[in-house]
Structure 1
Amino acid sequence: MLGKLLVRYLKRYRWLLVGVLVFQFLSAMASLYLPRLNANIIDQGVARGDTEFIWSTGSLMLAISLGQITCSIIATFFAARAAMQAGRDIRLDVYEKVSAFSEREVSQFGPGSLITRNTNDVQQVQMLAMMGATMLVTAPLLAIGGVIMALQQDVGLSWLIGVSVPSLLVVAGLIISRMVPLFRSFQKKLDAVNRIMREQLTGIRVVRAFVREPIEAERFSVANHDIMVVGRKVGSLFVLLFPLAMLVLNVTVVGVIWFGGIQVDAGQVEIGTLFAFMQYVGQILMGVLMASFMTIMIPRAAVSAERIGEVLASESTLTRAADATTEFPAPGTVAFRDATFTYPGAEHPVLEGITFDAARGQTVAIVGSTGAGKTTLVSLIPRLFDVTAGSVAVGGVDVRQADLDRLWTTIGLVPQRPFLFTGTVASNLRFGREDATDADLWHALEVAQGRDFVEAMEGGLDARISQGGTNVSGGQRQRLAIARAIVHRPDVLVFDDSFSALDLTTDARLRQALWRELPEVTKIVVAQRVSTITDADQIVVLDDGRMVGLGTHEQLLETSETYKQIVDSQLGVEA
C-alpha cells in the first residue's frame, strides 16, 4: 500500500525527483572522491614537501566541497517540494473522499480517526517521501561506492568491511522488527487520544453540568499514558540503535587503525591510503546507517499509508447514478413508497413499509415516541442514508437517480442539532446561497424570529459566531439555522425537531411566519410538541419504525390510538 500510494502521488512530480537523483548522485560522487584527494595530499604533498601540490589539490578539494554542498541543498529543495506537494494532494483527496461519505461511513471510521488520517498519517507518508528521496539515493551510493573505493585503496583490509556491514545490518534488523507492531499500536493510541479530546471539547457543557471533569480527566490521562508507554518503547529502541551503530563503527575504525598500522609499519601501505580507507569505511557504515534509519521510518509510514488507503478505497453508499437527472418534473413533492431502512449489522429495520405523499406547499408532520425512527425518516429525503428497500422520491424523481448537487439545492435541512460555523452571522446565513443580499438575510431572520436578537448583537450581521455556535443560546442557534435554510430558497424544508429549544410563543410566531411567507415550500416537520403540528396538512405517526397513523389532527384523534396517547400525555402534563 505504501509503494502504491507514493507512486500514485509522486509520479506527478517526476521531474523534481529526477532532479533529486541527479544532484544527489553528484553530491555522493563528490563525497567519494574527496578521501582520494586527501590521501594524495598526505602521500604526495606532505611526505615530499611539495607545497604547490598541496595548494592546488587543496583548492580542488575546496571547490568540490562547495559543489557538494550546493548539490545537496538543491536536491533537498527538490525532494521537499515534491514531498510537500504530494502531501497536499493526499490531504485533498482524503478530504474530498470523506466529504462524499454518508453518515454510515463517517460512523464506521469515527471522526477522530478520520482527522488523524488526514493530518498525522499524511505527515508520516510525507516525511518518508522527503527523506526517502534523499537518503535512499545517497545511502546505496555511499555504501556501494565506498566499498569500491576502499578496495582500490587496500584489498588487505577489506575483510573488516565484510564483518562490520553484516553486523550493523543484523543489529538494525533486530531492532526494526520490534518497531513495526509498536508503530501500528501508536497510531491506534493516537486515534483514541484525538477521539477523547474531541468528545470532551464538544461536550464540555455536559461534562461540567454533571461534574465529570475529574472522571473525564482520568479517562484522558489513561489514553495519554497508553500512548506514552508505546512511544517510550519506540524511543527505547531508537536509543539502542544509534549507540550500537556507533559501537560497530568505532570498533571497525579501531580495527582499521590496528591492522592498517601494522601494514604501514611493514611498508605495505602508505599513511594517506590508510586515512582514505578509514574515511571510506565511515562512509560505508554511514550509508548502511542511513538505510537503517529509513527502514525505521518505513514501518510507521506503511501503517499510515494503509490507514489512508482504507479511506481512499472506501466507497460511499451515496453513489452518483451514471444517468443522474437534474430535472424535477414535480418540484416540491415528496413521496415515500414502502421505504425501509436497516443499519448495517442490525437485526431489525429502523423503518419499515413507510408510504405517504407530500404535495407542493403542504406541511407534513412526523410524530412518534423516542426511538420511533423520525430522524432516520427525514434523513432519507436528502440522502444522508439510502433506503435498503422501497423508494423515496423528491420532485417526482427517486433520490437515488437524482443528481446529488441538484437534489441538495432543492432541500433545506435544519438538523436536530443545528451547527454553526466559525465566522459571522452573515457568513453562516449565506452558507447555502453566497449571493444573498443583506435584505435577504434580514428577511430570513425576521421569518425565523431571530431579527431582534441579531440586531442586539454587537455588529448585527457582522457579529462573530464561535465554532459550533457556542456563543449563542440553543434557541438562538436553532433560529439562525432555520434562517439559513430559508436563505437557501429550497422547494422542500425539513425541520428535524428544530423548534424544541423555543418557547411556545416564539414557536407559534415562527410557524405562522413560515406558513405565511413560504406558502409554496413543502415543509416536513419532526416535532415532539402536539401544539406544533395540530394545523399540519398531514401527520405521520410512527411507532417502532412502522407507520401506524396518517391524517389530520382531528382524523388521527379518532383513528389512531398511538396518536391519541401522545396527545393525552402532553395535555395531561400541561394540565
Structure 2
Amino acid sequence: MNRKLLQSVREYKKQAFLAPVLVVLEVLLEVLIPLLMANIIDVGIMNGDMNYIIKVGLLLVVMAMVSLFFGAKAGQVAAVAGAGYAKNLRHDIFYKIQDFSFGNIDHFSTSSLVTRLTTDITNVQMAFMFSIRMLARAPIMVVLSWIMTATISMKIACLMLVTIPILGGVLIFIAKKAHPHFIQVFDEYDVLNNTVQENVNAARVVKAYVREDHENEKFHKISQKVFDLFTRAEMIVAWNSPVMNFVMYTVVLLIVLIGGEDIVFGTMQTGELTSIMVYAMQILMSLMMVSFVFVMIMIAEASSDRIREVLEEVPEMEDAPDALTEVANGDIDFEHVDFSYAGEDGNLSLKDVSLHIKSGQVVGVIGGTGSAKSTLVQLIPRLYDVTRGCVKVGGQDVRKYNLEKLRDQVSMVLQKNVLFTGSIYENIRWGDENASNEEVQRVCKLAQADGFINEFPLKYNTMIVEGGNNVSGGQKQRLCIARALLKKPKILILDDSTSAVDTRTDALIRKAFREEIPDTTKIIIAQRISSVEDADMIIVMENGQINGVGTSEELLKTNAIYREVYESQVKGGEDHE
C-alpha cells in the first residue's frame, strides 16, 4: 500500500494496529486446537479414558470459542479501520479538488475524479481491510503450523517446506499476470462513467434528436470493453483455485502415504497424523488467502496510483504567506497579457491584451465565437493564471491576493451556470450564507426573478432539482444573477448570462445594476448589441486580441466589426419590423 495514502489512516491507527494483534491471538489458539484433538485420539480414545476426553474436550470448546471471539473482534475492528481509512481518503481527495484551479481540473476529467472517489477508494479500502487481517494471519499461521508439524514429523515438515515456496511463487505469478488488465479496466471505467454522466446531463438533447439508439450503442461498446478486460483478468486469476486444489490434494496424498507408513511402523500415532492433516490444511489455506489478498492488492495498487495522482497534483494557484486580504476597489488592469490553456508552449488564446477599466464602470464585451471573451474575464478572479503579463484588481496583481478574498469581491455568472439541489433560498444564499430572507428576495427583485418565483406554490421554498432542470434557461440565469448580486461584490461579471431572457427583462436587469450597485464594476459579455449599447466602454474581441475599445457611438465610427454587428442586429431588426 502506498505510504502517502496510508497517511490518511490517521485517527484509525489504533484499530489498524489492534486488528492484527487480535488475529495473532486467534491464530495462536487455532494452532493449539489440532494438538488437543490429537491428544483426545491418542490418549483419551486409545486408553478409553472418558474423563480425559471430557476434560480436554471442554478445554477444546473453550479455546474454539475464545478463538472465535478474537476472530470476530478482529473482523469488526478491521472493518472500522477500513471504512475510516476510506472516509479519510475521500475527505482528502475532495478537499484537494477544492484547491484545484480550472487548469488542474482540466488535467482530470470529471468522470475520472468521480471514479477515483468511488470505485478506486472502495478497492483500496477492501485491500487495506483484508491486508491488516490476512497478511498478519497467514505468515504466523504458516510458521506456527510448520513448527508444530516439524515436532511431529520432520519428513512431512520438509515436504511442506518445499511446497510452500512453489505454491506461493505460482500464486504470485498468476496475480502479477492479471495486474496489467486491472489497470486497463479502471481507465475504461473513467470512459464508462463519462458516457453515463454525459448522457444523463444531456437527456433532453438525446431525446430531442432521437439519439437513444446511438447512445445505447456507444454505452454497449464501452461496457463490452470493460467486460472483456475484466474477463481476461479474471480468467488468469481463476487459475488460483485449480492450482491450489491440485497442490492441496497432492500434499494430502503424500502426507497420507508418509504418515500411513509411519503409523504402520509405530513411529507416528493416528491422532498425530490427524493433527498434521489439519496443520497442512491451515498452511495451504493461509497461502490461498495470501494469494487472494495479493490479487486484491494488485487491483488496489492500480487504484492507489490513480488516487495518488490526485493527491500529488500541485495546485496551480496557492496563496502566498503574505497574501493580500483587502480588495481596494473595482479597478481592473490588463498589462500585456498572453494566455494559453496549454501553458507557455501552447497556442495563445489571448495575445498582448492591455486595457484599463475604472471602478464602477459598465463594460461591454462583444466578439465572435472563439474570440476569447470568456477567457478574458476568467483571468480576473484567477480561474486561470496569465501565461505572460499580469492582471490587476484594485491596483494589485491578482496573484498577490488571497484567492478566497479575491473571489469574494469578484462575482461571476458563467455561461453554464449550475443550480444545486435545494430550495431557492438555499441556492441564492450561495452568495451569502448569512443573508436574511428579505435580502434574498431583494436581490431576486433586482435580477427580475421575484415575479416567477412567487408564481410557484412554495415560492422561495420551491425545491430546485439537480442542475436546475425544473426551471427554464431564463429563470436559471436570473437566479444565478441574484446569487451573484447577494455577494455585494466590487466586480460583477456576466458571461453571456442574459442570453435566455427577453430584451425587456435584460434592460430591467441592467437598469437595476445602474441604480442599485453604481460603485460595482460591471462587465457584460453579450451577443446582443442592446445588452451593451449603453455601456461606458465596449471592448471588441477578435482572435484573442482587442480589436477596438470605446463607446457605442465611437465604435460605430471607428470599428468595422462593431458596426457590422450593430447594423445586422439593429437595422436588421427594424427592416424585419
Cα deviation per residue 1:463-515 (whole Å; 9 max; x = unaligned)?
01011101110000001101111112111111000010011121112211222
Query: Are positions 1:119 and 2:123 aligned together?
Result: no
Cα deviation per residue 1:379-433 (whole Å; 9 max; x = unaligned)?
1111111111111112222111001111111111110011100111111000121
Asked if 2 retains the 8 angstrom alpha-carbon contact of 1:153 and 1:276, the reply is no
Report the equivalent of 1:43. 42
Letter in 2 for 1:222: K
Alpha-carbon distance in structure 2 between the residues aligned to 1:299 and 1:573: 66
**How many Å apart are 1:26 and its aligned residue?**
0.7
Which is further off, 11-20 or 407-416? 11-20
Asked if 1 retains the 8 angstrom alpha-carbon contact of 2:431 and 2:485, the reply is no
Tell me the secondary structure at the aligned position of residue 366 of structure 2. Answer: strand
Report the equivalent of 2:335. 337
Asked if 2 retains the 8 angstrom alpha-carbon contact of 1:557 and 1:563, the reply is yes
**How many Å apart are 1:572 and its aligned residue?**
4.9
Letter in 2 for 1:496: D
**How many Å apart are 1:254 and its aligned residue?**
2.1
Alpha-carbon distance in structure 2 between the residues aligned to 1:412 and 1:543: 25
Letter in 1 for 2:538: I
**How many Å apart are 1:157 and its aligned residue?**
2.1
**How many Å apart are 1:236 and its aligned residue?**
2.1
Alpha-carbon distance in structure 2 between the residues aligned to 1:476 and 1:14: 50
Report the equivalent of 1:14. 13
Structure 1 gaps, min length 5: none
Where in structure 1 do 4 or more consecutive aligned residues deviate above 4 Å? Answer: none
Letter in 2 for 1:183: F
Report the equivalent of 2:537. 538
Alpha-carbon distance in structure 2 between the residues aligned to 1:375 and 1:64: 72
CA RMSD in angstroms comes to 1.5
Query: Are positions 1:312 and 2:315 aligned together?
Result: no
Query: Are positions 1:246 and 2:245 aligned together?
Result: yes
Which is further off, 29-38 or 484-493? 484-493
Which is further off, 560-569 or 460-469? 560-569
Alpha-carbon distance in structure 1 between the residues aligned to 2:38 and 2:564: 100
Report the equivalent of 1:562. 561
Asked if 2 retains the 8 angstrom alpha-carbon contact of 1:23 and 1:72, the reply is yes
Asked if 2 retains the 8 angstrom alpha-carbon contact of 1:167 and 1:248, the reply is no
Letter in 1 for 2:341: Y
Shift in alpha-carbon separation, 1:547–1:6, aligned structure 2, 3 A = closer
Matches for 1:186-335 after TM superposition, within 5 Å: 186-329=185-328, 331-335=329-333
Asked if 1 retains the 8 angstrom alpha-carbon contact of 2:340 and 2:387, the reply is yes
Letter in 2 for 1:336: F
Matches for 1:339-354 after TM superposition, within 5 Å: 339-344=337-342, 347-354=346-353
Alpha-carbon distance in structure 2 between the residues aligned to 1:573 and 1:263: 108
Cα deviation per residue 1:68-108 (whole Å; 9 max; x = unaligned)?
11111222222222222121111111111111111112121
Letter in 2 for 1:342: S
Alpha-carbon distance in structure 1 between the residues aligned to 2:270 and 2:162: 23
Matches for 1:393-408 after TM superposition, within 5 Å: 393-408=392-407
Alpha-carbon distance in structure 2 between the residues aligned to 1:428 and 1:358: 31
Cα deviation per residue 1:420-475 (whole Å; 9 max; x = unaligned)?
00111111000121111111111111111111110011211110101110111000
Which is further off, 10-19 or 217-226? 10-19
Alpha-carbon distance in structure 2 between the residues aligned to 1:359 and 1:242: 75
Asked if 1 retains the 8 angstrom alpha-carbon contact of 2:40 and 2:52, the reply is yes
Alpha-carbon distance in structure 2 between the residues aligned to 1:202 and 1:401: 37
Matches for 1:59-70 after TM superposition, within 5 Å: 59-70=58-69
Report the equivalent of 2:156. 157
Alpha-carbon distance in structure 1 between the residues aligned to 2:359 and 2:22: 69
Tell me the secondary structure at the aligned position of residue 132 of structure 1. Answer: helix
Alpha-carbon distance in structure 2 between the residues aligned to 1:338 and 1:150: 81
Which is further off, 361-370 or 337-346? 337-346
Letter in 1 for 2:29: A
Letter in 1 for 2:327: F
**How many Å apart are 1:155 and its aligned residue?**
1.4
Alpha-carbon distance in structure 1 between the residues aligned to 2:147 and 2:509: 85
Tell me the secondary structure at the aligned position of residue 457 of structure 1. Answer: coil
**How many Å apart are 1:222 and its aligned residue?**
0.4
**How many Å apart are 1:14 and its aligned residue?**
3.0
In the alignment of these two chains, the number of paired residues is 573
Tell me the secondary structure at the aligned position of residue 434 of structure 2. Answer: coil
Report the equivalent of 1:143. 142
Letter in 2 for 1:122: I
Alpha-carbon distance in structure 1 between the residues aligned to 2:8 and 2:248: 37
Cα deviation per residue 1:347-398 (whole Å; 9 max; x = unaligned)?
4311112222222221011111111000001111111111111111122221
TM-score (norm 2): 0.97
Tell me the secondary structure at the aligned position of residue 47 of structure 1. Answer: helix
Alpha-carbon distance in structure 2 between the residues aligned to 1:156 and 1:381: 79
Letter in 1 for 2:54: W
Alpha-carbon distance in structure 1 between the residues aligned to 2:229 and 2:212: 26
Alpha-carbon distance in structure 2 between the residues aligned to 1:222 and 1:379: 37
Tell me the secondary structure at the aligned position of residue 335 of structure 2. Answer: strand
Letter in 1 for 2:14: W
Letter in 2 for 1:555: E
Report the equivalent of 2:365. 366
Query: Are positions 1:378 and 2:377 aligned together?
Result: yes
**How many Å apart are 1:9 and its aligned residue?**
2.5
Tell me the secondary structure at the aligned position of residue 360 of structure 1. Answer: coil
Letter in 1 for 2:360: G
**How many Å apart are 1:158 and its aligned residue?**
2.5
Letter in 1 for 2:334: F
Report the equivalent of 1:26. 25
**How many Å apart are 1:247 and its aligned residue?**
2.4
Alpha-carbon distance in structure 1 between the residues aligned to 2:543 and 2:148: 81
Asked if 1 retains the 8 angstrom alpha-carbon contact of 2:37 and 2:275, the reply is yes
Which is further off, 398-407 or 71-80? 71-80
**How many Å apart are 1:30 and its aligned residue?**
0.5
Alpha-carbon distance in structure 1 between the residues aligned to 2:439 and 2:74: 55
Tell me the secondary structure at the aligned position of residue 356 of structure 1. Answer: strand
Query: Are positions 1:88 and 2:83 aligned together?
Result: no
Letter in 2 for 1:371: G
Structure 2 gaps, min length 5: none
**How many Å apart are 1:163 and its aligned residue?**
4.1
Alpha-carbon distance in structure 1 between the residues aligned to 2:572 and 2:118: 51
Tell me the secondary structure at the aligned position of residue 361 of structure 1. Answer: coil
Alpha-carbon distance in structure 2 between the residues aligned to 1:133 and 1:174: 22
Asked if 2 retains the 8 angstrom alpha-carbon contact of 1:425 and 1:461, the reply is yes
Which is further off, 511-520 or 373-382? 511-520
Asked if 1 retains the 8 angstrom alpha-carbon contact of 2:334 and 2:354, the reply is yes
Alpha-carbon distance in structure 2 between the residues aligned to 1:81 and 1:260: 44
Letter in 2 for 1:341: F
Report the equivalent of 1:98. 97
Which is further off, 79-88 or 30-39? 79-88
**How many Å apart are 1:5 and its aligned residue?**
3.1
Asked if 2 retains the 8 angstrom alpha-carbon contact of 1:5 and 1:305, the reply is no
Letter in 2 for 1:89: N
Tell me the secondary structure at the aligned position of residue 321 of structure 2. Answer: coil
Alpha-carbon distance in structure 2 between the residues aligned to 1:505 and 1:177: 67
Alpha-carbon distance in structure 2 between the residues aligned to 1:92 and 1:47: 62
Shift in alpha-carbon separation, 1:6–1:352, aligned structure 2, 3 A = closer
Aligned residues with identical type, % of pairs: 34
Report the equivalent of 1:57. 56
Asked if 2 retains the 8 angstrom alpha-carbon contact of 1:100 and 1:316, the reply is yes
Alpha-carbon distance in structure 2 between the residues aligned to 1:217 and 1:516: 52
Asked if 1 retains the 8 angstrom alpha-carbon contact of 2:335 and 2:389, the reply is yes
Tell me the secondary structure at the aligned position of residue 131 of structure 2. Answer: helix
Cα deviation per residue 1:40-62 (whole Å; 9 max; x = unaligned)?
01000000000111111111111
Which is further off, 46-55 or 232-241? 232-241
Cα deviation per residue 1:253-298 (whole Å; 9 max; x = unaligned)?
1221222112212222100000011111111111111111111111
